[in-house]
Chains A and B, each alone.
Chain A
Amino acid sequence: MPDIGLAPAPTDTPVLQVDDLTVRFKRRNTDVAAVNGATFALRRGETLTILGESGSGKSVSLKALMGLLPGYAQIQGKIWLDGKEILGLPPAELAKLRGGAISMIFQEPMAALDPVYTIGEQIAETIVQHEGVDHRTAMLRARGLLERVKIPSPERRLKNYPHEMSGGMRQRAMIALALACSPSVLLADEPTTALDVTVQIQVLLLLRQLQQELGMAIVFVTHDVGVAAEISDRIAVMYAGRFVESGTTREIMRDPRHPYTQGLLASTVHGAMRGAKLETIPGTPPNLASLPPGCAFAPRCRYAIDACRAGDVPVVTGPTGAMVRCVRAAETVAA
């Protein structure tokens, strides 16, 4: 079923457009439906956050965009990058795009960076690979990139190996590597989750600033509502491989309409709740190998009625482009 949420404004061509993306992992005995029809589009300079809990399909979606899923993953749908369809491209073509027009940063820079090469060599190699410039020029560019991500004494840091850097510094180095070839789209998979809170805010501010300077679109994946509020222009809430709600950051944070989003925000602890019992979402997320028919959230939803379990859930799109996938959307707005 095509999803009309998150449609781009007609005036501006999106740099990234994803249409009805599905990812299934089929093995001998299991058939895991990880992503079940994700549709979204991003313009230059825009940040979309995919907010969801573990197993919601948010990271798998990113990896599908980047062509990083294992061979047995069955990917369907359409992905356009700068107007060119990229899903199903031959590996060599895809390799040209990765690290070029589209690049990715990860939660664990220690795992993403190569431990046996210096930071400078890794960044320069990417530039040489994609742009065919000589090594000296690439090294100079690498130095400029380290400056850009505000790594102190960049000349010296170029010669550092990843293990010689602190966690925050490594994350900055990985961002520099991802931005080496001025991508139009940066995919960020929980890049601040492993960082301390005083370092996390530095990285978030850096990403915001780099986006203003360089204009790339960012797809940011996180489970943290606070991080989403700090970084995003728009938020899409994912549950069991589907977007259940999307809208501007303000719409989602102030006026969540889907019962899952409401539950997620209500169960996010903050100080004002002291002494009160926390609101919780009962139960646990569904097994992706045997999703219930209809709304996947229905078994945990206090508003669920028979119609929720019956079949496909209609998508309601508001005048601002905000989308909610809920049988009772009209009523929960009032609730």
Chain B
Amino acid sequence: MSAAMKLDPRDRGGPAQPLLSVEGLKKYFPVRGGLLNRQVATVQAVDDVSFSVRKGETLGIVGESGCGKSTTARLLMRLMDPDSGSIVFDGDPVGERAGITVNEMRRQMQMVFQDSYTSLNPRMTMAESIAYAPRMHGTPRKEAFDRAETLLAQVGLNPRQYARRYPHELSGGQRQRVNIARALALEPRLVILDEAVAALDKSVEAQVLNLLGDLKSRFNLTYLFISHDLNVVEYMSDRVMVMYLGRVVETGPVEQIYRKPRHPYTRALFASKPTLDPDRRTTEMPLTGDPPNPINPPSGCRFRTRCAFAQAVCAEKPPPLAAPLDGETAEGAPHLVACHLPEAQAAMGVSAHA
């Protein structure tokens, strides 16, 4: 386990092959009601989402509540089954006969949740929680506990002080460190961080973000970093994917997305971010109203009901995720945007064609 571990023995396709690639992921939840508890509506939580995560990168997923970012994470971990879509982990289809099983995938992919308290078993000590998964996967007890103590130290908690404590005896930041240690116990290659710092105070959040950065280079990890916090996503991510009502609206390298956002929603989202400069306060509302209900979302482009540029075509068909219409192409990872209208993509808050 050192920084020199650039060549993971588990690596199969080499650096060019994505570590995770997701195609057409879809999850609809039935809404039941009425006299016979019949299905009366459908929540289109995740609707045809495709993306890939390269080895060693951090992909940030950003969006507001109801955009499907957390459902996507749960589908990836198979905490729920997708309605359709395929998940390929380092070349191996997950859950298919030709590929790897869900269990095998979970050894290599782990998740940290927002609520540090409810994600730990209140009746297990920290060391027991961390050692639990390795023991389930066959590691002898002594070895699993030794490793738990090493992990505690690696996330910045003195094992002699914390190994035998229970969740309620730790602060939120400390518990989140334990959750990170637990996620690392199986030596995963990909860690999904679902709002992992959202519940922490700012000074503690910074500590945990630094820790995540250290662990990433130390263990050669790949992150899927899900957050509603635009600043934190910009800080952490190499590439960013913006979601709105169950669909991807824009994706690309972090500098491209933050400096030259093309989708009207992405621009409105960034314009809504509170300033840190009292002389440059927000004076105009970037958007009005709340995001629509994901039950019966708008036809065509789901953002059209709040979009200043919307035209007839936007209601007719959903826009495909494609290269920006002004023909500019980014080097490296592609910048893709799901919008029909060139003028909507070109409207800029910042100076264009930088």
Contacts and interface: CB of A to CB of B under 8 A. Distances in A.
Nearest to A152: B289
A205 B285 contact: yes
A76 to B, nearest CB: 28
Nearest to A273: B235
Contact of B235 (A167, A263, A271): A271
A202 B282 CA distance: 10
27 contacts: A197-B273, A198-B64, A198-B269, A198-B286, A198-B287, A198-B291, A201-B274, A201-B282, A204-B282, A205-B283, A225-B202, A226-B274, A226-B275, A229-B278, A268-B202, A268-B231, A270-B231, A270-B234, A271-B231, A274-B234, A274-B235, A277-B210, A277-B213, A279-B206, A281-B203, A284-B171, A284-B174
Contact of B286 (A167, A201, A230, A270): A201
A278 B230 CA distance: 16
A229 B203 contact: no
Given A196-B228, A201-B285, 20 more contacts: A53-B202, A166-B293, A169-B290, A196-B64, A197-B230, A197-B269, A197-B273, A198-B291, A202-B288, A205-B285, A223-B201, A226-B276, A227-B274, A229-B277, A264-B203, A267-B206, A269-B232, A271-B235, A281-B206, A284-B173
A31 interface: no
Nearest to A282: B207
A253 B277 CA distance: 7
A72 to B, nearest CB: 22
Contact of B290 (A53, A196, A250, A271): A196
7 A-B pairs with the lowest CB-CB distances in the bound complex, closest first: A226-B274, A267-B206, A271-B234, A196-B64, A53-B201, A166-B290, A278-B206
Nearest to B197: A269
A167 B171 CA distance: 29
Contacts of B160: none
Q: Which interface class (under 10, 10 to 19, 20 to 34, 35 or more) fits B? A: 35 or more
B38 interface: no
B65 A196 contact: yes
Interface in B84-114: none
B310 to A, nearest CB: 16
B281 A229 contact: yes
B276 A223 contact: no
The bracket for how many chain A residues form the interface is: 35 or more
Interface of A: 53-54, 152, 166-169, 196-202, 204-205, 223-227, 229-230, 232, 249-250, 253, 263-264, 267-271, 273-274, 277-282, 284
Nearest to A167: B290
Contacts of A250: 278-279
B333 to A, nearest CB: 16
A284 B291 CA distance: 37
A110 B235 CA distance: 33
Instruction: Kindly name the residue among B202, B204, B254 whose own CB sees the greatest number of chain A CB atoms within 10 A.
Output: B202
B22 interface: no
B120 to A, nearest CB: 18
A223 to B, nearest CB: 7
A278 B277 CA distance: 20
B348 interface: no
Contacts of A263: 203
Contacts of A202: 285, 287-288
B202 A264 contact: yes
B346 interface: no
A152 B288 CA distance: 11
Contacts of B234: 270-271, 274
Given A250-B279, A271-B258, A200 B205 contact: no
Given A197-B228, A201-B285, A249 B278 contact: yes
B282 A205 contact: yes
B49 interface: no
A169 to B, nearest CB: 7
Contacts of A282: 207
Nearest to A260: B203
Contacts of B232: 269
Nearest to B235: A269
B209 interface: yes
Given A197-B64, A280-B203, A230 B281 contact: yes
A280 B200 CA distance: 13
B39 interface: no
Given A205-B285, A253-B278, A168 B290 contact: yes
A160 to B, nearest CB: 14
Nearest to A265: B276
Contacts of A270: 231, 234-235, 276
